[in-house]
A and B are shown apart, each in its own frame.
Chain A
Amino acid sequence: MSKINRRDFIKIAAAASSVAALSFPSIARAGAKAKVVVIGGGYGGATAAKYVKMLDGNIDVTLIEPNPIYISCPLSNEVVVGHRDIGTLSIGYDGLKTRGVKILHDYVTGVDRARKVVNTQGGKTLPYDALVMSPGVEFRYVGIEGYNESMINDIPHAWKAGPQTLLLKKQLEAMPDGGKFVIVVPKGPFRCPPGPYERASLVANYFKHHGKTKSKVIILDANDSHSKKGLFNQAWAKMYGWEKEGLGTNGMIEWVKGAEGGAVTKLDAKTKTVSSDFIDVKADVLNIIPPHKAGKIAADTGLTGKEGNNFEQGWCKVEPMTMASALDPNVYVVGDACVAGEMALYGNPNAAFDMPKSAHIGMAQAKVAAAAIVAKVNGLPPPDPIYANTCFSIVGDNYGFSVAHLYRVQGGTFKYIKEGSGVSPMAMPDKSPVPDIYRKLEAEYADGWLRNVMADAFV
């Protein structure tokens, strides 16, 4: 589809850099094709594999992913409430195969970074010139006394799409009117920052449409603020009787912040009662989202941060120009497993300066990594990166909104570009309410966005 070919890319990269005369060391071995191995076939890994191949068809690209079908997390909250079939979120790897990417359905057991080889459970040893690490997240079943991984078939997280999504759907449908649907949100960073609140909105919407209006959605949040908070509160007031923060309000949605007892520390699995220092809540449907860290293989490979560093602990630090690991120039870490953004401000709950863990930004990172790899293979400097993100949330009938992020690299560090970022308006410039059409359009665009990101990554 795209007409960019290798020669064009190299020409353009050279022109853009205006340092074509400089000789960058090429990583391709004399007489052999350069080899790129991608670990992980989610949005980040699939996009990296596709774009490396698109930008330079001469590079040998292998993507390693255990599962034959990928199920998209974005918009999977719509599956929970029956607005969308999970089939629309499912996609295989034939599109990438057609583009010449080799697909290996296998499980990576280890990476030897000194020898630059990847070993798999199936007994394969794959050498690489550049490795793209895109393993996503692994859950940490810690911090809640009485809770562990063996319980997820009764207490689903539904934070990796698939059977878990369908299980939560089933539990929602079986819940009697007057019941409590409790969502336990971990301390950030977690993938899809607006996700828990979108889920709460759509569950309330489900109650409205299924005669279960005496039911409640209770969000117990380890954090003291959340993504798109103003927009969510405004929408909840409009559609779900939202009054104010705290437990025991009249609306269908209740949100308890960490400082006021939202940080759950204990579970009685038998009665599905979750507790913090201040409160106990007995749930009818209990949805615990565990805290995250980078996928296991990233840690096993030695790419994650050291103990004692709050923000990088369990995550992978990257070079802003290329997405190469800060610890290994031949390994590129993209997607949820990395930390990126304006790190000086990272961790401030009111600031959106860190890159969110979203499919869209994972794809942006993957495209930057792909361009940097292709440039390096061809002895060119990396082109100037652009990291753009758009996350849509659907919160009711014909009601959606979004957040956009834009980052560039300035002075060798990530720079959040405020002018190209921000959330949907809360009010018009003259302070009048936002016309309904804005919310309707964004609900419509969410679906268009989904189909395009899936195709841009996998087809």
Chain B
Amino acid sequence: MKLKLCTLLAILGLASGATPAADIEGIARACNSCHGTGGVSVGLSMPSIAGLSESYLKNIMMEWKSGTRASANMTRLIKGYTDEEIAGVAAYYAKQPWKAQPQSAPADLLVKAKEATERCETCHGATGGQPDDADTPMLAGQWSRYLELELVKYRDEGFQMTHKKMIKNARKLEEGDVATAAKFYGAQSK
């Protein structure tokens, strides 16, 4: 019985791994290690990816894979996955429920942030929770430390980001407003 099964699996290309049907859930379980079980991160510098839009997740991974967008580490990892697997993983996490992380910010920071984040509203919505389109990520309730590091990336000329409008606007922020804007969006966790 065992031998027969092995033979059959080999014919189907399953045991040989020729181009087996990707086990998307299995790949997602690997992503969970850094991004949290089910894509809900508990690490301040790591983004939650559960419930982000499929298009955003797929684009960012494909940009890392093609090398147009820099990352300190994702560019290395992502090249090991096929385009189909990347699309599958994006679709998988897009279907997981978004879970805002409760983070508080002092009242005076929130007032100050109103002005600092004015330029962000056009695309991300008033509290970062109503993105304009599927390619714009949700900010409300994302980890503020992660958001701050993303802004630092957009503002650093040595770090190759792709979204021209975002690069331009991130660099227009006052230095002191970077953390303020990040904390503001982190605190929009309702």
Contact = CB atoms under 8 A, between A and B. Distances in A.
Given A386-B27, A419-B79, A22 B8 contact: yes
Contacts of B42: 451-452, 455, 459
Contacts of A442: 72-73
Given A420-B78, A445-B46, A447-B45, A19 B158 contact: no
A427 interface: no
Interface of A: 1-4, 9, 12-13, 15-19, 22, 24, 51, 321, 360, 363-364, 367-368, 371, 381, 383-388, 390, 402, 404, 406, 408-412, 415, 417, 419-422, 424, 435, 437-438, 441-442, 444-445, 447-453, 455-456, 459
Size category of the binding interface on chain B = 35 or more
B41 interface: yes
B102 interface: no
A94 to B, nearest CB: 15
A452 B20 contact: no
B36 A406 contact: no
28 contacts: A1-B99, A3-B97, A4-B38, A16-B21, A321-B15, A367-B26, A383-B26, A384-B20, A385-B26, A386-B27, A386-B30, A388-B80, A411-B16, A417-B80, A419-B79, A419-B80, A422-B76, A424-B76, A437-B158, A445-B46, A448-B34, A448-B41, A448-B45, A448-B145, A452-B34, A452-B46, A456-B37, A459-B42
Interface of B: 5, 8-9, 12, 14-17, 20-27, 29-30, 32-38, 40-46, 72-73, 76-81, 95-97, 99, 145-146, 149, 152-153, 156, 158-159
A16 B77 contact: no
B37 A404 contact: no
Contact of B38 (A2, A360, A383, A402): A2
Nearest to A411: B16
A386 B23 contact: yes
Contacts of B156: 435, 437
A1 B76 contact: no
Given A2-B38, A18-B12, A360-B33, A420 B23 contact: no
A439 to B, nearest CB: 8
